[in-house]
Amino acid sequence: MTLVLLIAIPVVTAILALAAGSRPSWSRALALLGALGTLAVAGTAWSQLAGADAPLTYELTVAGNGTFLSLMADGLSLPLVALTALLGAVAVLTSWDVERTGPHMALLLALEAAVTAVFLAADLILFYVAWEAVLIPMFFLIGGWGHDNRRYAAMKFFAYTFAGSALMLVGIVLLIISGGAGTSMSAAVVLSPETQRLVFWLLAAGFLVKIPVVPLHTWLPDAHVEAPTAGSIMLAGVLLKMGAYGIMRLCVPFTPEAFAAAAPLLAGLGVVGIVYGAVMALGQHDLKRLVAYSSVAHMGFVVLGISTGTELGFQGAVLGMVSHGLVAGLLFFLVGALYERAHTRDIGAFGGLGETLPRWATVFVFASLASLGLPGLSGFPGEFASLVAGFAGFGWPIAVAGLGVALAGAYTLRAVRRVVHGEPSTDRAHVDLSAREIVAIVPLAALIVALGVWPRLVTDLARATLEGLAVLAGMVS
């Protein structure tokens, strides 16, 4: 029942928040209550899985019609479910003063429910339905509450991700027909090499767009820049993880031979993303666009880790996904808070915020150090593990990714120097972070430190699942 509550609570509170739309204070309270309730249930599920020898499962059967709903949480999915629940609560706090409060809160909670359903689905049909359902609230959040070019960004987001999803649907249908084992995502399926290749690339098309890898990434900067702050938090924090999760959940177990054959290409895409994202971030003047391109680079490390097909690489990928969700969520939160005060994101317009906004500047420097991979913070363990596994699997070509690491320090410290240091601007923001904003920041910052010091917080929970995936990949180190 715990798994059902993770989806049901945000759905129910979304309906209630929408119904209370004429009373914004009620919508806020209901949305926060639903988000915190979901987070509490996610914590309960975490403790249950940590003390169990098998994944958590739930099945709802209908007499004469078989299984109606099938859910599962294991060491791969539950860290992402918990991340979704945490960022959902942060997104609600971020949206406290938004216009048209009821519809906005309802869309946020619906988005949280849909993403959670993707991670918990144990049935291929439910997985696809939930995957498509994610597009709807995200589209309306960008188009309804975004900035000047919000409609263009919303349509571009929808067009790219829907096109990838259409190909993914063909792959899922072919998998169901050729596998002959129904729609269960845990069924043992044996496909011919030719069918594996076709299924793999059809599925991968949808997943690689969502990550996104270069050159399928062009929707991401526009979507981030035009989205409201809460939308950017959820987009970077959890929606990008759906693509990497899909490769690990479907491509590795169902098409292991095709995955192994495609591994060098995936590694190449990962390295290209690392370097390209860093180069593009270095040239940005818009602070939000800088963080958006840094997401391309960080997800490149995730793709590189997955491509190795090893337990260490998978650990790096999972750690990278969780860390990026925390760090990018925090950075987009800070950029949004700054924009609300200054009404600009132009890096050149700021200076001396260390004096005028000391609390904001302290947290920004902290988040920036986590983003560049400082040891002791969450960005380091996952990216280091991905690089080590990549080098062991593919050799010296992976060293090119080191350029991306160096550039990450360059673009991050450049932003810190120009925004935090220097002469204070006399016509920009002077109102520092509020108590509500600090409440939203503290859990993110605490987990960034905890995961950097003790990555086993996640890897211990994920170990059994990732060991099994490595065996299925046939590339155990």
Residues of the chain with pLDDT under 50: 475-477
pLDDT at 341: 86
pLDDT at 149: 87
pLDDT at 63: 58
How do residues 319-372 score in pLDDT, each as one tens digit? 999 999 999 999 999 999 999 888 888 898 888 888 889 999 999 999 999 999
pLDDT at 234: 94
Identify whether the C-beta of residue 367 lies closer than 8 Å to the C-beta of residue 433: no
Q: 231 to each of 332, 348, 372, 388, 445, how far by Cα in Å? A: 9, 25, 23, 33, 20
pLDDT at 477: 38
How do residues 436-473 score in pLDDT, each as one tens digit? 999 999 999 999 999 999 999 999 999 999 999 998 88
330: amino acid identity, one letter: L
pLDDT at 23: 87
Sign of CA dihedral 344, 360, 380, 471: negative
pLDDT at 427: 64
Tallying the residues shown for the chain, one arrives at 477
* Domain residue limits, the chain: 263-477
pLDDT at 378: 94
Query: What is the model's pTM?
Result: 0.94
Whole-angstrom Cα distance, residue 185 to residue 111? Answer: 23
pLDDT at 54: 86
pLDDT at 428: 63
Q: What is the DSSP string of 77-113?
A: HHHHHHHHHHHHHHHHHHTTT-SSHHHHHHHHHHHHH
Sign of CA dihedral 424, 429, 430, 432: negative
142: amino acid identity, one letter: I
Residue 135 has a CB neighbour count (10 Å cut-off) of: 17
